Amino acid sequence: MESLADAAAVASRACELWRRQARASVAARGVFRAALSGGRTPALLFERLAAAALPWKSTELFWVDERYVPHGHAESNFALARELLLGRVPIPEAQVHPMPTGSGEPARDAAAYEALLRTVFAGRSWPGFDLCLLGLGEDGHTASLFPGGPELVEKRRWVLATRSPKGVADRLSLSIPALVRSGLCLFLACGTEKSAAFKAALGRPAGPASPARLVWSAAARGVFLLDKQAAGGIPPGQGAGWAGFLS
């Protein structure tokens, strides 16, 4: 966990971690596979990534979750990435894999995306993304996994049709087991309204587990990047003072 001065610093640090993970993955296997999310903080990160020297020709992009709207819709996670990132970097179109939202049946499109992932990650019990970019909702949700939802106990499927209690109701999301096998689960959280959700995600104890806590606790490697408002009093730095804050 790292507490940083502001949202711009969070985006810059996330870009640095992305760069390290991308270069290490390409050096080891010739490809870097990342799954994106949407929201205000990733928007700042996308702008940093678009300006960075990264191995785009060896990168494949997927999505952690998506609102069930057309890809050109203002609420689409894919549309945000296309505007701020994809149109500004030399990544081959064939290496960009948005979640499908066109059949009119979320469960059908979730199954189609899972079939794609099972082809990409053939021979694996679960996908092995090098990096999954995650946010943190005020209610503790991450990706499109919401408190109390049946998807929190899913043990078999890689991609799920889910329901949001607000905003666009129908969503697609990677499941918890599909997320936590990632080389890095990178959580970004900015703003005072995220402080309580962060404490619930990492605190000990914290009552019923939030989706973010479930992912964080099971992730092979998880990193939280927060601005000082979301950190709620933790001094800027790599985890300085956070244990006492969360106890």
Give the chain's domain count: 1
What CATH number does the domain containing 119 carry?
3.40.50.1360
Domain that holds residue 193: 2-246
d(CA 192, CA 74): 25
pLDDT at 241 over 50: no
State the pairing for strand pair 32-36/131-134: parallel
Residue 161, phi then psi, degrees to nearest 5: -90, 125
- Identity of the amino acid at 76: S
* Beta strands, E only, 83-152: 131-134
Q: pLDDT at position 143, please?
A: 97
Token pair belonging to 228: 């000082």
pLDDT bin (cut points 50, 70, 90) of residue 239 is low
| pLDDT, tens only, 107-160 | 999 999 999 999 999 999 999 999 999 999 999 999 999 999 999 999 999 999
Q: What digits encode the pLDDT tens for the residues 47-80?
A: 999 999 999 999 999 999 999 999 999 999 999 9
Mean pLDDT of the 159-164 span: 97
Contact indicator for 64, 134 with CB cutoff of 8 Å: yes
